[in-house]
């Protein structure tokens, strides 16, 4: 496969169902069976393990009964020929292997009869402690229901020992699509996956259990991948660079739109100011902030490039709405009568919107649906919008995103670790950048202003949200080079300019 094709595939993430279609298509074309792909998977696994753990000499390979076990047994065959001391523990010794796994199992049984391979029938702490590497080939992507208590206890025993654990395809016990733990799951130090990255590497608990991820497409031609639509795309700096073109020399501020930030209720002016400054740094031509009258003393303290309008009557906003291109409502808005009055007038306008923070909290009480807005909920706000708990949102973020799209329309930015950007007309984007230091006040306000700036410059809601999320996360990572603890929203604003040029 050409390098550029492999690079393109590395950004695409497919569901389990679609991975099976890709695999089956490749096998049919070759008029073969799973064995050829298992051999490639095992050889790739062997090479990656030897690079990562070159001194490991005593392997324990844990096998279930499906194709994942076939991958494990094929790897055992390679390791044995390279003089590694290999033990295999069959998790379901009373089950019968089928297909290619049965063929490999027969070969290994022959080696066992010659005392070349040791078969373990009862897993215990002593056997685990005697191994310097553990290979997890128990379930792979085949799991579709909670595991029973006897297997749970074995998985907990495995996780409590000191040797590194390498999972083949995905950590056993993790749902391949949602990333949920199906009762108990292996905590891998490295996962060697095949054909495509899996959804569970980015969703639910799967992202915390996979360790270092290595992927092989197993030399499957790109045309087999092209026959199905990916479920998610990873966006990174190249995505933003391809969208943000160099400006023409004869340009002026009117070409880049006028953003109105609506927020700053009593006692909460900071959020609106952060959002406004972020919009300026993101390239908006002009930015106006509409905030409560109580902040009028700020007129000489705010960034002078921002235009400030103060009012204690929401109705005053109507004349301003006619003069702007994009409205971002929510940063520091509050939930009082003033906030609700302002929200009512903004929501009735025909201006493209970005809705965040208290704007989302007010929206959760309404029954509005629009296609020209971007909603940017964190898990708690998403829970209110869907009448769920935050835990339910996080258990299946992909499904939560779909429900938000269905219920509210437009583009949804489901914030958090691995932020998702969804719209019914596009493949979902995922941003894997960002860091824990960004869990501090004002970060969401900065993102709101940045997305509004991109919309004011003519990008579609989905593109603006995707570029805004990526640039915001990358700015956060640059700002965190001096340390994550103590990172504040203003630090991220200082890095935005470099991330959008």
**CA atoms of 112 and 238, how far apart (whole Å):** 51
Asked if residue 202 has pLDDT above 60, the reply is yes
- 9 — pLDDT class (breaks 50, 70, 90): low
Residues 359-370: tens digit of each pLDDT: 999 999 998 999
Q: Which of 391 and 7 is assigned the larger pLDDT? A: 391
Average pLDDT over residues 171-199: 96
Lowest mean pLDDT among 37-51, 116-130, 280-294, 412-426: 116-130
Report the side by side order of strands in the sheet with 307-311: 197-198, 12-14, 232-235, 428-431, 419-422, 411-414, 373-375, 353-355, 326-329, 258-262, 286-292, 307-311
Inform me whether the pLDDT recorded for 299 exceeds 80: no
The pLDDT of residue 303 is above 80: yes
Segment 204-221 mean pLDDT: 95
* The pLDDT of residue 115: 66
pLDDT recorded at residue 227? 93
Q: What is the rounded average pLDDT of the residues 186-194?
A: 98
Query: Strand 419-422 and strand 411-414: pairing?
Result: antiparallel
Q: What is the pLDDT of residue 103?
A: 86
The pLDDT of residue 2 is above 50: no
The answer, yes or no, to whether residue 444 has pLDDT greater than 90, is yes
User: For 75-116, how does the pLDDT look when each residue is reduced to its tens digit (9 = 90+)?
Assistant: 999 999 899 999 999 988 888 887 888 888 888 887 777 767
Predicted confidence at residue 3, as pLDDT, reads 41
Distance CA 63, CA 124 (A): 15
pLDDT at position 301:
76
Half-sphere exposure of 366 (CA within 13 A, CB side): 15
3-class state of residue 3 by DSSP:
helix
Residue 7 has pLDDT above 70, yes or no: no
Tell me how far apart the alpha carbons of residues 349 and 368 are, in angstroms, rounded to a whole number.
13
**Rounded mean pLDDT, 453-457:** 98
- Name the average pLDDT for the chain: 93
Which range, of 111-115, 454-458, 465-469, 475-479, averages the lowest pLDDT? 111-115
* Residue % of the chain over a pLDDT of 90: 83
pLDDT of 1: 37
Mean pLDDT, rounded, for 272-284: 98
pLDDT at 4: 52
Gap between the Cα atoms of 351 and 435, Å rounded? 33
Lowest-confidence segment of 5-19, 146-160, 176-190, 280-294 by average pLDDT: 5-19
- Looking at residue 8, what is its pLDDT? 62
Q: Which of 492, 376, 414 is nearest to 204 (CA)?
A: 414
The predicted-structure confidence for 345-388, as pLDDT tens digits, reads as follows 999 999 999 999 999 999 999 989 999 999 999 999 999 999 99
């Amino acid at each position: 496969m050409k390098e550029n094709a492999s690079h393109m595939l590395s950004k695409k993430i497919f569901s389990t169902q679609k991975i099976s279609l890709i695999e089956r298509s490749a096998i049919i074309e070759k008029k073969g069976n799973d064995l050829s792909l298992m051999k490639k998977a095992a050889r790739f696994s062997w090479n990656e393990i030897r690079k990562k753990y070159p001194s490991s000499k005593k392997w324990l390979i844990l096998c279930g009964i499906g194709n994942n076990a076939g991958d494990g047994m094929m790897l055992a065959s390679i390791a044995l020929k390279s003089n590694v001391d290999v033990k295999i523990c069959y998790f379901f010794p009373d089950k019968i292997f089928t297909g290619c796994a049965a063929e490999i199992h027969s070969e290994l049984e022959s080696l066992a009869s010659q005392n070349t391979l040791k078969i373990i029938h009862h897993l215990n702490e002593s056997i685990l402690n005697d191994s310097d590497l553990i290979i997890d080939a128990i379930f792979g992507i085949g799991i579709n229901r909670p595991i029973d208590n006897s297997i749970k206890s074995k998985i907990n025993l495995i996780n409590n020992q000191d040797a590194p654990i390498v999972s083949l395809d995905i950590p056993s016990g993790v749902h391949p699509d949602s990333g949920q733990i199906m009762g108990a799951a292996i905590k891998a130090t490295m996962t060697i996956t095949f054909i495509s990255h899996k959804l569970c590497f980015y969703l639910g608990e799967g992202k915390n259990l996979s360790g270092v991820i290595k992927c092989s497409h197993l030399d499957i031609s790109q045309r087999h991948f092209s026959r199905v639509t990916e479920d998610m795309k990873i966006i990174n700096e190249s995505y933003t660079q391809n969208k943000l073109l160099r400006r023409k020399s004869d340009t002026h501020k009117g070409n880049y739109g006028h953003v109105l930030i609506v927020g700053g209720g009593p006692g909460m002016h900071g959020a609106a100011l952060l959002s406004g400054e972020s919009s300026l740094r993101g390239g908006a031509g002009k930015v106006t902030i509409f905030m409560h009258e109580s902040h009028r003393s700020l007129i000489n303290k705010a960034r002078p490039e921002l235009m400030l309008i103060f009012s204690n009557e929401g109705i005053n906003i109507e004349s301003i709405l006619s003069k702007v291109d994009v409205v971002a409502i929510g940063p520091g808005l509050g939930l009082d009568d003033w906030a609700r009055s302002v929200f009512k007038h903004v929501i009735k306008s025909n201006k493209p919107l970005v809705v965040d923070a208290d704007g989302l909290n007010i929206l959760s009480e309404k029954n509005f649906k629009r296609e020209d807005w971007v909603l940017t909920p964190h898990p708690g706000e998403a829970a209110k919008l869907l009448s769920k708990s935050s835990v339910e949102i996080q258990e299946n973020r992909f499904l939560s995103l779909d429900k938000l799209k269905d219920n509210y329309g437009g583009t949804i930015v489901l914030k958090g670790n691995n932020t998702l950007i969804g719209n019914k007309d596009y493949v979902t984007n995922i941003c894997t950048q960002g860091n824990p230091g960004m869990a501090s006040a004002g970060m969401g306000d900065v993102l709101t202003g940045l997305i509004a700036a991109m919309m004011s410059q003519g990008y579609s809601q989905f593109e603006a949200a995707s570029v805004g999320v990526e640039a915001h996360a990358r700015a956060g990572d640059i700002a965190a080079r001096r340390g994550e603890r103590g990172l504040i929203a203003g630090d991220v604003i200082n890095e935005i300019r470099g991330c959008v040029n």
